[in-house]
Amino acid sequence: MQHSSSRQTDELAVSTTLQGGEYTISDIKGSSNNSYNYHAKTSDGTSVAIKEFFLRDMCRREGNNIQIPAKADAKIFNSLVKTFLRDATFLTSLDSEHLASVLDLFEENGTAYMVKSIPEGELLADLIVDPSRKFTPKQITSIANDLARSLVEVHGFGMLHRDITPSNIMITKDGSAVLLPDFGTFREDRSNASRVVSSVLQSAQHYAPFELTFDDARQGDGSDIYCVAAVVYHLITGEPPAASLDRVAAVAANDPDPYVPLEGSHKKFDDRFLKAMDMSMELFYDSRVHSATELMFIMSKDIDFDETRRMKRDVGKRSTPLTHQGIFIRVKNLLLRR
Amino acid sequence: MVWKPSFMRTASVDRLTPVDALPIGTRVGDEHEITGYLGSGGFGYTYLARRFDGHHVALKECFPFEFCRRNGLDVGLKAHDLADDFEMIRDGFQQEAAILAEFEHENIVAGGLLITAFNTVYIEMDQVHGKPLIDHLSSWFKRPSRQQTKQIGRDVLDALETIHAKGYLHKDISPDNIIINQQGVPILIDFGSAAPFGENSDDDPMLVVKIGYSPQEFYRAGAKVGQASDLYQLAATLRHCITGQRPVESVARLHARAQGRPDPLTALGRKKSKHSAFFGSIDDSMAVLIDDRIATAKQWLKTLKDI
Ligand SMILES: Nc1ncnc2c1ncn2[C@@H]1O[C@H](COP(=O)(O)OP(=O)(O)OP(=O)(O)O)[C@@H](O)[C@H]1O
Ligand SMILES: [Mg+2]
C-alpha cells in the first residue's frame, strides 16, 4: 500500500497550487458528499473560494490526483466531470445580482474545479437556526423574490440547481439573497438493477420535492421552485414544511396531507404571496407552479391569479405588459427563447 | 442541526476493490492475524483471520468507504470534518456486535466479539463457507429453484422469529446479507442495521436503505416500523430469486399509489401455477403499506408450512 507523504485526509493540503500557480490553497473549508471546499489566493493576491468535485464514495486521493479504484465508477465519474464542465460554463458568463458568479472553471487532478468569489454575507443555514435573528415579512418577501429571480436565470439556461437548501443561500449585508451554485447537476444512476446498492439517507429532506430525491418521477423547473418555496416556508413559520416523502406516504394511505398551508394563517403577509408559496409546494409536479417566471407573477401584489394563469397561456401573443413592466418583458423574452 | 444534501449513496458491493484493505499478515489486536479477504459491503471489509488458537474466523472491520481512508494501517478520515460521522458509525458497530452476540441459531452466523485496533473496531464471527445469495442470482442457471427458494424463505423466517422474539428487527435482509453455505443452508449475516423495535427515532441522523429491498417506511424518520418491515425485505429477496431482478424501489410504488397510478411492481401470484400460494404470500408481504402486509414471521411461516 503506497501512501503519499504525510497526508492525513483526502483533502488537498494548504499551499497546494492549481492551474500552474494561479491559485494557492490557503484554507480547507467544509466537505460535502460531492465536494471539498477551499479558500485560495490568486496570483495577484485576491481571495477566492474553490470547490473541488470529489465523490467520497468512489474517489480516493493519490498524490494530488483523484483515483477511482473501480472501473465502472471511473466511467461514471469522468462523464459527470465532463457534463458538469459543459453545463456550468454559462455560470462564468453570468453577472447576476442574485446568483453567485463563477470566476473560473477548470479540469485538473482528474476532476473539476469551480472558482467563486467569496460571497460576503451569512449563510441562511446559520441564520435560520439562530433565534435572535428574525426576518420581517418584508425581508422574507424580498428573499423569495430574489430567489425566484435567480431561478429565472438558471432555468433560462436550461439548467436546474437541484440542491436549494438554506446552506446554498447567502444573505448579504443589505438583506438580499444570493443563490450559490453547487455541483447540483450531479445525478447518480439509481437505475442499474443488477447491483445491490445501499443508500444512506440523511435527515433534512424537508426542502426537496419527491422527484429530486427519488428520480423515478419527472423533474423540471418546478422541482427547484418547490425548494425555494420550502425555504421561504421555513422563514415564515419557523419550521420547514412536512417532508415531501411523508406527504406522499400520507396521501398513499388515504390520510390527509400533513402539509399545513400558509394561505389565510399569516396575517402579516399578503395572502396572494402565501398562496403562491402553497402552489409552489403542490406535492405532485403537474399541479405545481411550473416556472420561475410564473412564480414571480403570482407572487407579485398587483397581479390577479386567474389573470396570471390566463396570461401565462398567451404571453407570447400579448403586446402590452400589465403592471410589472420590467418583469413582464423579461418573462416574455425568456418564454420566447425556450 | 446540520443541513446536508438529502441523498448520498454508498458504493455498491461489486464496485469495491480491496485497495484499502489491510495486507495479509497484519496482526489485529493480540489474537488475530489477517490471512485473507472474504468480501466487503458499504461499511467495510470482511477478512479471514487466524486466531492464536489456530481457528479461522471472519473479522469484519468498521471502515465506511464514504468517510474513511487508510493512513498506514490506521483508519483515518477522508475529510477533516467527518469525525462525528465516523464515530457514530463506529458506535453502531459496537451495537452490531452486541446484538449479534445475543443469538444462537442455525441460520444466524455465530459471533459478536468486539476487537479494537487501528483506530477502529472489528467484529469476530465464524467463517461461513459458501457464497452470498446475490452471487447465485446473476444468471438463471445458478438461481435457486422454486423449492430451494421456499426453503430459504422458511429458514430465514425461522431466524426472524427468533430475532423478533428478542425484541429486535434485522432491517437489512437482502441477497448480499444471506450466505448459502456448502450444505445449501442460508445463514443470515450483517446485523449492522439491526435495532430494537419501535419507531425510527426522529433524530436518527442516518437512515440506511437498500434500494429495492427496503420498505418505504425505512426511508422516513419517525415512521412506524415493525416485524412486517423485515418481512417486506425477505419477500423482496425471495422475489429476486424468482424473477432474477431486483424489485422496484418501494418509494416509487408509494408515489404511484399516492397518484392513483397502478403499482409498478406486478403481483407474482396472479398467474395460476402450483406455486401460486407461495407467490401470493410473497405479494402479501410486499404490500406497500405496512398494515396491509402479513404481520409476523410466525404467521407467514405457518402459511409456508401448509404449502
Ligand atoms: N462470517 C462470514 N463468513 C464469510 N463471509 C462473510 C462473513 N461475513 C461477511 N462476509 C462477506 O463479507 C461481505 C460483507 O459483509 P457484511 O454484509 O457483514 O458487511 P457490510 O455489508 O459492509 O455491513 P453493513 O450492511 O452493516 O454495512 C458479505 O457480503 C460476505 O460476502
Ligand atoms: Mg452487507
CATH of the domain at B223: 1.10.510.10
d(CA B231, ligand 1 centre) in Å: 21
Residue A212 pLDDT level (bands cut at 50, 70, 90): confident
| pLDDT for position A206 | 83
Q: Check if B13 contacts A (Cβ < 8 Å).
A: yes
**Per-residue confidence (pLDDT) for residue A184, from 0 to 100:** 59
Give the model confidence (pLDDT) of A51-71 as tens digits: 999 988 889 999 999 998 888
Q: HEC profile for chain A?
A: CCCCCCCCCCCCCCCCEECCCCEEEEEEEEEECCEEEEEEEECCCCEEEEEEECCCCCCEEECCEEECCCHHHHHHHHHHHHHHHHHHHHHHHCCECCECCEEEEEEECCEEEEEEECCCCEEHHHHHCCCCCCCCHHHHHHHHHHHHHHHHHHHHCCCCCCCCCHHHEEECCCCCEEECCCCCCCCCCCCCCCCCCEEEEECCCCCCCHHHHCCCCCCCHHHHHHHHHHHHHHHHHCCCCCCHHHHHHHHHCCCCCCCCCCCCCCCCCCHHHHHHHHHHCCCCHHHCCCCHHHHHHHHCCCCCHHHHHHHHHCCCCCCCCCCCHHHHHHHHHHHHHC
pLDDT at B89 over 50: yes
Residue A117: what pLDDT? 86
Lowest mean pLDDT among A288-292, A294-298, B2-6, B212-216: B2-6
Report, in angstroms and rounded to the nearest whole number, the Rg of chain B calculated over CA atoms: 20
The verdict on B134 touching A (C-beta cutoff 8 Å) is yes
ipTM: 0.87
More confident residue, B98 or A189: B98
Contact of A316 with A335, CB cutoff 8 Å: yes
Suggest the residue from B7, B34, B66, B86 to mutate for an interface test with chain A (most A CBs closer than 10 A).
Answer: B7
- pLDDT of B17 reads 55
**CATH number for B37:** 3.30.200.20
**B177 and B70 in one domain?**
no
Q: Report if residue B11 sits inside a domain.
A: no
Residue B177 and residue B120 share a domain: no
B108 and B196 fall within a common domain: no
Question: Does B89 reside within a domain?
Answer: yes
Same domain, B54 and B92: yes
Which residues does chain B have within 8 Å of residue A188's beta carbon, measured at their own beta carbons?
7, 9
Residue B3 domain-assigned?
A: no
Q: Between residues A210 and A3, which one has the greater pLDDT? A: A210
pTM as predicted: 0.87
Residue B91 shares a structural domain with residue B150 = no
Compute the average pLDDT of residues A118-132.
89
How many Å lie between the centroid of ligand 2 and the Cα of residue B47? Answer: 14
Looking at the fold, whether B242 and B296 belong to one and the same domain comes out as: yes
Any ligand 1 atom below 6 A from CB of B130:
no
Q: Looking at the structure, tell me whether residues B272 and B135 fall in a common domain.
A: yes
Long-range interactions of A129-138: CB distance < 8 A, separation 24+:
A129/B1, A135/A235, A137/A266, A137/A268, A137/A269
pLDDT exceeds cutoff 80 at A267: yes
pLDDT(A329) > 90: no
Domain annotation covers residue B44: yes
Query: Is B18 contained in some domain?
Result: no
Vertex A210 angle, CA A204 and A215, to 5°: 115
Pair B233, B185 in one domain: yes
| Rounded Cα distance, B111 and B126, in Å | 6
Q: Could you tell me whether strands A102-108 and A122-123 are parallel, antiparallel, or unpaired per DSSP bridges?
A: unpaired
Based on the fold, state whether residues B72 and B140 are members of the same structural domain. Answer: no
Nearest residue of A to residue B218, measured between CA atoms: A201
Tell me: do B256 and B111 sit in the same domain: no
Instruction: Please give the span between the terminal C-alpha atoms of chain B, in angstroms, as a whole number.
Output: 52
d(CA B296, CA B285): 10
Question: What is the per-residue pLDDT for A125?
Answer: 92
Are residues B62 and B105 in contact, defined by beta-carbon separation less than 8 angstroms? no
Answer yes or no: do B222 and B289 share one domain.
yes
Distance of alpha carbon B222 from alpha carbon A121, whole angstroms: 35
Highest mean pLDDT among B13-17, B27-31, B37-41: B27-31
Q: Is the pLDDT of residue A126 over 80?
A: yes
Q: Encode chain B in three state secondary structure.
A: CCCCCCEEECCCHHHCCHHHCCCCCCEECCCEEEEEEEEEECCEEEEEEEECCCCEEEEEECCCCCCEEEECCEEEECCHHHHHHHHHHHHHHHHHHHHHHCCCCCCECCEEEEEEECCEEEEEEECCCEEEHHHHCCCCCCCCCHHHHHHHHHHHHHHHHHHHHCCEECCCCCCCCEEEECCCCEEECCCCCCEECCECCCCCCEEEEECCCCCHHHHCCCCECCHHHHHHHHHHHHHHHHHCCCCCCHHHHHHHHHCCCCCCCCCCCCCCCCCHHHHHHHHHHCCCCHHHCCCCHHHHHHHHHHC
Domain extent for B41: 27-126
> Which domains can be identified in chain A, with CATH numbers?
1-118 (3.30.200.20), 119-338 (1.10.510.10)
pLDDT (average), residues B180-196: 94
* B66 touching A (Cβ < 8 Å): yes
Give tens-digit pLDDT for A1-49. 444 456 899 999 999 999 999 999 999 998 887 889 999 999 999 999 9
Q: What does the pLDDT read at residue A73?
A: 80
- Copy the grid coordinates of residue A37: 471546499
pLDDT of residue A198: 54
Q: Residue B140, Cβ neighbours under 10 Å: how many?
A: 7
Q: Which of A25, A3, A5, A7 is nearest to A15 (CA)?
A: A25
- Is B9 a domain residue? no
Over the stretch B102-143, which tens digit does the pLDDT of each residue have?
999 999 999 999 999 999 999 999 999 999 999 999 888 889
Domain boundary among B126, B144, B177: B126
Angstrom distance (rounded) from CA A288 to CA A194: 34
Choose between A215 and B147: higher pLDDT: B147
Domain boundary residue, one of B107, B126, B145: B126
| Highest-confidence segment of B84-93, B145-154, B265-274 | B145-154
B290, B153 contact by CB (below 8 A): no
Q: Is the pLDDT of residue B71 over 50?
A: yes
CA A98 to CA B116: how far, in whole Å? 51
The lowest-confidence range among A30-34, A322-326, B213-217, B265-269 is A322-326
Cα distances from B17 to residues A187, B45, B263, in angstroms, run: 23, 10, 37
Long-range contact set of residues A232-237: C-beta below 8 Å, sequence gap at least 24: A232/A140, A232/A143, A232/A144, A232/A147, A232/A277, A233/A262, A233/A277, A233/A281, A234/A128, A234/A166, A234/A206, A234/A207, A235/A128, A235/A135, A235/A140, A235/A143, A236/A140, A236/A262, A236/A266, A236/A269, A236/A274, A236/A277, A237/A262, A237/A266
Out of A3-12, B23-32, B241-250, least confident range: A3-12
Q: How far is A16 from chain B (nearest CA, A)?
A: 16
Given a contact cutoff of 8 angstroms between Cβ atoms, the answer to whether B4 and B28 are in contact is no
Judged by CB atoms closer than 8 Å, whether chains meet at B8 and A216 is answered as: no
What are A37's strand-pairing partners?
A51
Number of folded domains in chain B? 2
Judged against a pLDDT cut of 90, whether residue B61 lies above it is answered with yes
* Cβ contact, residue pair B81, A61, below 8 Å: no
Q: How many CB contacts within 8 angstroms connect chain A with chain B?
A: 204
C-alpha grid cell, residue A154: 438558471
What average pLDDT score do residues A187-202 get?
46
The answer to whether A222 touches B23, Cβ cutoff 8 Å, is no
| Domain contains B262 | yes
% of chain B with per-residue pLDDT over 70: 92
> What's residue B5's pLDDT?
27
Which segment of A138-147, B5-14, B27-36, B276-285 scores lowest on mean pLDDT?
A: B5-14
Please tell me the residue having the least CA distance from ligand 1 atom 30. Answer: B39
Contact B214 CB / ligand 1 (< 6 Å): no
Q: For residue B1, is pLDDT > 90? A: no
Whether residue A289 is predicted with pLDDT greater than 90 in this model: the reply is: yes
pLDDT of A311 reads 47
- What mean pLDDT is reported for chain B? 89
- pLDDT at site B138: 85
Q: Domain boundary residue among B126, B159, B179?
A: B126
> What pLDDT is stored for residue A180 in this prediction?
87
| Cell numbers standing for residue B214 | 427496503
Asked if residue B239 belongs to a domain, the reply is: yes
**Range among A295-309, A312-326, B194-208 rated most confident:** A295-309
Q: In this structure, are B41 and B180 located in the same domain?
A: no
Q: Whose grid coordinates read 491559485?
A: A23
B297 CB within 6 A, ligand 1: no
pLDDT confidence of A84, banded at 50, 70, 90? Answer: confident
Dihedrals φ, ψ of A150, to 5°?
Answer: -65, -30
Write the single-letter amino acid at A129: V
